[in-house]
Amino acid sequence: MTLDRVVWSMLQEALAVYRDSPRATAWLRSHLERYTEPVRIAVAGRSRIGKSTVVNALIGDEFVPLSSFTWYRGGTEPRAHVFSGPGRPHEVAVGRRGHRHHVEIGQIDRADRVVVEWPARTLRDIVLIDTPSEASPEQVLGEADALLYLMRHVQDDDLKFLQAANDHPIARTAAIHTVAVLARADEIGAGRIDALSSAKQIARRYRRDVAVQPLCQNVVSVAGLLAVAARTLREDEFAALRTLSSLGREELEDNLLSADRFVGEQFPLQMEPAVRQALLERFGIFGVRLITALIRQGFDTQVKLTGQLVQRSGLGELRDSIAIHFTERREVLKARSALLALDVLFRMEPRQNARKLMADLERVVASAHDFRELRLVAALQSGRTKLPGDLQTEALRLIGAEGTNPLVRLGFDYEADTREQREALLDALVRWQAQAADVHAPHDQRKAAQIVVRTCEGLLPQLR
């Protein structure tokens, strides 16, 4: 039985055991419901780090940020509900404020939760939760299956938050739910034109950092404003930017030296200061610099420019990361959340007849192959377990560190047909079996090889 079926049946069983406790039943029902939903991703970080900006960039629409937990989930038409205290949620309108959407929560100052249903492609596979910066790790992770953690440079506070996120014993055995984001990548590079590639390098360094690596699956850098711009660039803005780039390079550079200069009175072009101010607010000084440079380089249509911006802003990488680490691992993430929920339940309301379920829980956590794979990924990446030479990279690929698709696991960079994949898989299987049986290898290496072999065997039926 696969992990998600096992966990599903455990939830059902728990429902039967706890049928006389209303609180437990409500808890389990909510988790059963959650089990079938898309992955819930919380976006967290310090204040003013750009959480809402990243959420907007992912959705592809701009929302006025709210001061409470804001959920964005897929829907056929725009709708919003406010959950405040006990009682039923009530629906509120989604209006517009300038070019941005605004959820009219009105006089309700502190809602517990605002749920926005929005027709966006991204939201088909995920539910995004924008969190207030003062929320504690427990609050953030209580409802979420996965976490996007935003930071500028890794500071002690950030590490503390991530450690708190990994504090639970079950969370530790399956530390699979975090992607760290170096937000404001443009500011990291002090607004220079090459700021983004510099930020990417820093992200790469953190990926290898021993302090950071065990706490998250990946580190990516994103320039939030640029990413939003890429998704929501409007005709008039594009036109204005084109006009700007028509200016001589030197002259434009001079005027882009500082924000003050750009919106100042002595601007060589016939352009309203208000327009310039709006551009600055939307794209930042770095955004304006980069976009004008790109237009000058020949990305002079809106489509071309948008493509470039998505790639350069790091939004593409972020989306890939979400896909590889969260969407593709939906079952595991959901199973993990459900197991955590069951653990909470067993602790809160221990019962004699839940003994078997508690034992099951422990067994699943300890033995589920998906968790084992993830633990091995963590062990290999943190250097706790080392494999000789190329075996390390191959093992990481096979157990799904780069993606769980068979093609990715087997290392094909093109659409290989089933036969080809099968051959590659059998080849890998034989080699890893030999590795697992190698009596000279240290114990942990053989253990690791056994897990890889088990993975390969699991892939075989898919390639018939």
Which residue's CB is nearer to other proteins, number 214 or number 406? 214
Q: For residue 254, what is the DSSP state? A: H
CB of 448 to other proteins, least distance (A): 28
Applying CB under 8 A, among 136, 201, 246, 301 the residue interacting with other proteins is 201
* H or E, element range at 440: none
The interface region with other proteins, picked from 120-128, 226-234, 284-292, 360-368 by CB under 8 A, is: 284-292
Segment 418 to 447, residues that bind other proteins, using CB under 8 A: none
- Residue in the structure block whose two tokens are 């028509």: 246
Which residue's CB is nearer to other proteins, number 280 or number 344? 280
CB of 254 to other proteins, least distance (A): 9
Print the binding letters for residues 88-127 with other proteins: x by CB under 8 A, - otherwise. ----------------------------------------
Question: Could you write out the DSSP letters of every residue in 343-410?
Answer: HHHHHHS--GGGHHHHHHHHHHHHH-HHHHHHHHHHHHHHTSS---THHHHHHHHHTTSS-SSHHHHH
Applying CB under 8 A, among 20, 260, 390, 415 the residue interacting with other proteins is 260
CB of 255 to other proteins, least distance (A): 12
Strand partners, 39: 126
Which residue's CB is nearer to other proteins, number 14 or number 183? 183
Print the binding letters for residues 152-181 with other proteins: x by CB under 8 A, - otherwise. xxxxxx-x----------------------
Whether 258 contacts 244, CB under 8 Å: no
Q: Binding of other proteins at residue 231 (CB under 8 A)?
A: no
Whether 428 contacts 398, CB under 8 Å: yes
End-to-end Cα spacing for the chain: 19
Neighbours of 166 (CB within 10 A): 17
Neighbours of 198 (CB within 10 A): 15
Print the binding letters for residues 386-415 with other proteins: x by CB under 8 A, - otherwise. ------------------------------
Neighbours of 338 (CB within 10 A): 23
- Which residues, at least 6 apart from 97, have a Cβ–Cβ distance to it below 8 Å? 64
CB of 284 to other proteins, least distance (A): 8
Length of the chain: 464
Q: Binding of other proteins at residue 344 (CB under 8 A)?
A: no
The interface region with other proteins, picked from 208-216, 297-305, 379-387, 392-400 by CB under 8 A, is: 208-216
Which residue's CB is nearer to other proteins, number 200 or number 334? 200
Neighbours of 81 (CB within 10 A): 17
Segment 179 to 198, residues that bind other proteins, using CB under 8 A: 184, 187-191, 195, 198
Burial class of residue 53, CB neighbours in 10 A (0-12, 13-18, 19+): buried
Q: Binding of other proteins at residue 258 (CB under 8 A)?
A: yes
Catalog residues that contact other proteins under the rule CB under 8 A: 46-48, 152-157, 159, 184, 187-191, 195, 198-199, 201-202, 205, 209, 211-212, 257-263, 277, 280-281, 284-286
